[in-house]
Amino acid sequence: MIYNDILKKIKNGKKLFALLVDPDNHSEKSLLKVVNNANDSHVDLILIGGSLLNNHIDHSATLIKNNTKIPLLLFPGSPLQITPNADGILLLSLISGRNPDLLIGNHVIASAYIKRSGLEVLPTGYVLVEGGKSTSVEYMSNTRPIPAEKTDIAIATAMAGEMLGLKLIYLEAGSGAKNHITFDLISGVKKNINIPLIVGGGIKTENDIEQTVKAGADIVVIGTAIEQNPKILKKLVQITHSL
């Protein structure tokens, strides 16, 4: 079970690195390179997802699965990105927003399909925080992010998500965000919840990772920075594991 494994690792003081792969940004050949890089770098989790569907998610997920033992989790931008060809799904409820489809509507549409798929379901409170520029997730979800300095609202949102029974909280500044989530906001949320905390969006450097993890992130997600410079992956994973 992926979730139990995550809990166990966190309990043992380990910080996890999740690589985000948007299949729309890859050919079959480059996707294979990404997977090999993830294997060599000892990435803990691979997340697959994006905003659009220019490539076939089923095919991309199968290609990843066939070439790695790293758990593959769907990170779906829409129900159309759900495929049985992964190990699990971050079943996102966009609790920072007030769009009913992303809070429960899409989940109702997809529930029977997900059950049949055999995917491990990881119910995740998805909390969008302003990251210094407007992002795809903000536009596509038709929701407003929590202002970056409103730590109290982010904390209350994460606490509400935990009280509703969600199993993970994902603080998201949006892919390619100018600013990653601040130390204060991450540490405030971390102090007030007892479920694993995922943080992503705009994390680019060793220093960003250090700040994010020291503030309280259990799992760091990086996509854009690795797409731009795949060579830094190994070092970023090492840093994460050393903290």
Residues at the interface with ligand 1GP (CB under 6 A): 20, 172, 175-177, 200-203, 221-225
Residue 187 tokens, joined: 């540490």
- Min dist. Cβ of residue 198 to ligand 1GP (A): 8
Closest to ligand 1GP by CB, 123 or 201: 201
Task: Tell me the HSE value of 161 on the side-chain side, using a 13 A CA sphere.
Answer: 33
Closest to ligand 1GP by CB, 12 or 210: 210
- Min dist. Cβ of residue 202 to ligand 1GP (A): 5
Q: If residue 19 lies in a helix (H) or strand (E), which one and from where to where?
A: strand 16-21
Measure the CA dihedral 50/84/220/49, to 10°.
Answer: 0
Q: If residue 141 lies in a helix (H) or strand (E), which one and from where to where?
A: helix 136-141
Closest to ligand 1GP by CB, 166 or 209: 209
Residue pair 198/158 in contact (Cβ under 8 Å)? The answer is no
Residue pair 73/90 in contact (Cβ under 8 Å)? The answer is yes
Closest to ligand 1GP by CB, 19 or 35: 19
- Min dist. Cβ of residue 172 to ligand 1GP (A): 5
Residue 184 tokens, joined: 């204060």
Closest to ligand 1GP by CB, 129 or 195: 129
Instruction: Quote the strand ranges of the chain, DSSP E.
Output: 16-21, 45-48, 72-74, 88-93, 120-128, 168-172, 197-200, 219-222
- Min dist. Cβ of residue 229 to ligand 1GP (A): 12
- Minimal CB distance residue for ligand 1GP: 200
- Min dist. Cβ of residue 203 to ligand 1GP (A): 6
Taking the C-alpha atoms of residue 51 and residue 38, their distance in angstroms, rounded to an integer, is 22
